[in-house]
Amino acid sequence: MAGPKAKFKITGVEEYLAQLKKVGADIDKAVAEAVHESAKPIEEDIRVWAEKHKRTGAVLEGVDLSRSQADGDLIYVTVGIDGDKTPTSWHAAFVEYGTPRMAADPGIQTAFKVNKAKVKRIQREVLKKGGIPVD
């Protein structure tokens, strides 16, 4: 005896693929640009947070936004504090999470949270500008 079955039909996929082919845009290039551009507000907020806690300048120097990178179908950037760029920026973790004697000031986490809508908006704008149908 076979279990319950569900049947449904998805429409519009063929039309969407036709739009993509018609556009002829380099999708990977447009996505890489959209991902990089949309990470800039996060980087800027982290930079402002690091400036606020500037003592030696190491954390501020460690603020970094990488170039877009690809791993198969995944296109991404890294944004935050780069310990390889500035090895002494590791103490940013104490500011972010606090210590027994110092309250936490989560600037990195906050930068990601408050910029979610802006990131999505920028990605849509950049993709549209690149000719990618997003609607």
Q: What is the pLDDT of residues 114-123, one digit of tens each?
A: 999 999 999 9
Is 11 part of any domain?
A: no
**Ordered DSSP codes for 60-121:** HHHEEEPPPEEETTEEE--EEE-TTTSGGGGGHHHHHH-BTTB----HHHHHHHHTHHHHHH
Is 15 part of any domain?
A: no
Q: Is the pLDDT of residue 7 over 90?
A: no
Q: Which two tokens mark 32?
A: 């890489």
**Mean pLDDT, the chain, integer:** 88
Domain count along the chain: 1
Is 8 part of any domain?
A: no
So what's the pLDDT on residue 6?
63
**CA distance to 35, 90, 107, per residue, from 95 (Å):** 27, 10, 8
Is 84 part of any domain?
A: yes
Is 114 part of any domain?
A: yes
pLDDT tens-digit series, residues 82-96: 999 999 999 899 999
pTM for this entry:
0.80
So what's the pLDDT on residue 22?
66
Is 134 part of any domain?
A: no
Residue 98 neighbours by CB under 8 Å, 6+ apart: 104, 105
Q: Which domain, by its residues, includes 81? A: 25-129
